[in-house]
């Protein structure tokens, strides 16, 4: 177990009083405003299997393998595997440490990864926070680091139908990184939403659908329709809770759309 997450366990009780005070004021501020999300976005927030198939009742380490998700993967194939194009007007989510990375950053990766639901994109913000800390260790990783980390849930809408190739399994060999066709066209595939560190299989994860678009093809395909701040500290405090115990949506400040 990494030292970062050992520290998380050791300081859990000491954080309780601080986090409870913080969470109390945070909850009261959230109650004072009502999220104004369009029905189009609201209907796409949850994973494709939500309210259709239960979250797997297996040991956490088993969640990292196809066998725990067989029923979910079959449903995903029925929903997306027989289709070859994502319709115009579809909603795509992207977690990042900047607003609108599609249009405001110079891409260094060959792909942009989007979630068909919000969960994988929200947890991806936690992965970025973890990676960014590793790149620049000028501060101690702690509540303060995550509380001050800027994370955003960017919501896009497709401006045209986007043809795609469907990859039906979770294993790395099915990932777009290992598929030549995905270098030139969009690919859709099941993907796990990792909690901070994808290499630590003692933490929960949940299955989503990821939509991958080659960076060179993305120009004028998408329109930004919403941006919301992600409370990375709240994700950190709930790292070890699975989908049934904690909904990542609770870490998004839906009260304020930063595009308005």
Q: Residue 100: which region, alpha, beta or left (left: phi > 0; alpha: psi -120 to 50)? A: left
Compute CA distances 64 → 131, 143, 199, whole Å.
20, 27, 10
Burial class (CB in 10 A: 0-12, 13-18, 19+), 15: middle
Residue 210 CA to residue 50 CA, distance in Å, equals 16
The pLDDT profile of the chain, 260 residues, written as one tens digit per residue, is 343 444 444 333 444 444 444 444 434 334 334 457 888 999 999 999 999 999 999 999 999 999 999 999 999 999 999 989 999 999 999 999 999 999 988 777 888 999 999 999 999 999 988 887 666 665 556 667 788 889 999 999 999 999 999 998 887 656 787 788 998 999 999 999 999 876 666 889 999 999 999 998 898 899 999 999 999 999 999 999 999 999 999 999 999 999 98
Q: Domain extents for the chain?
A: 3-251
Task: Please state the pTM of the whole predicted model.
Answer: 0.82
Phi, psi (rounded to 5 degrees) for 164? -145, 160
Nearest to 181 by CA among 216, 209, 214: 214
Per-residue model confidence (pLDDT) at position 200: 67
Residue 195 CA to residue 241 CA, distance in Å, equals 9
């Amino acid at each position: 177990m990494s030292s970062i997450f050992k520290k998380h366990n050791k300081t859990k009780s000491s954080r309780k009083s601080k986090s409870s005070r913080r969470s109390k004021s945070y909850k009261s501020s959230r109650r004072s405003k009502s999220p104004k999300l369009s029905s189009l976005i609201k209907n796409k927030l949850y994973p494709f299997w939500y309210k259709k198939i239960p979250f797997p009742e297996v040991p956490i380490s088993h969640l990292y393998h196809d066998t725990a998700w067989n029923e979910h993967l079959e449903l995903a194939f029925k929903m997306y595997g027989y289709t070859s194009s994502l319709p115009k007007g579809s909603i795509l989510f992207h977690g990042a440490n900047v607003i609108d990375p599609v249009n405001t950053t110079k891409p260094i990766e060959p792909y942009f990864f989007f979630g068909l639901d919000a969960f994988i994109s929200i947890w991806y913000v936690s992965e970025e926070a973890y990676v960014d800390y590793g790149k620049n260790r000028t501060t101690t990783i702690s509540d303060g680091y995550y509380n001050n980390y800027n994370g955003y849930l960017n919501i896009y809408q497709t401006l045209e139908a986007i043809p795609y190739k469907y990859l039906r399994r979770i294993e790395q060999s099915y990932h777009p990184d290992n598929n030549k066709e995905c270098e030139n066209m969009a690919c859709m595939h099941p993907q796990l939403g990792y909690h901070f560190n994808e290499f630590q299989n003692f933490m929960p994860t949940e299955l989503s659908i990821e939509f991958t678009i080659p960076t060179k093809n993305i120009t004028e395909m998408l329109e930004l329709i919403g941006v919301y701040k992600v409370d990375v500290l709240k994700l950190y405090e709930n790292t070890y809770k699975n989908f049934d115990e904690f909904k990542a949506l609770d870490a998004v400040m839906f009260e304020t759309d930063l595009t308005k």
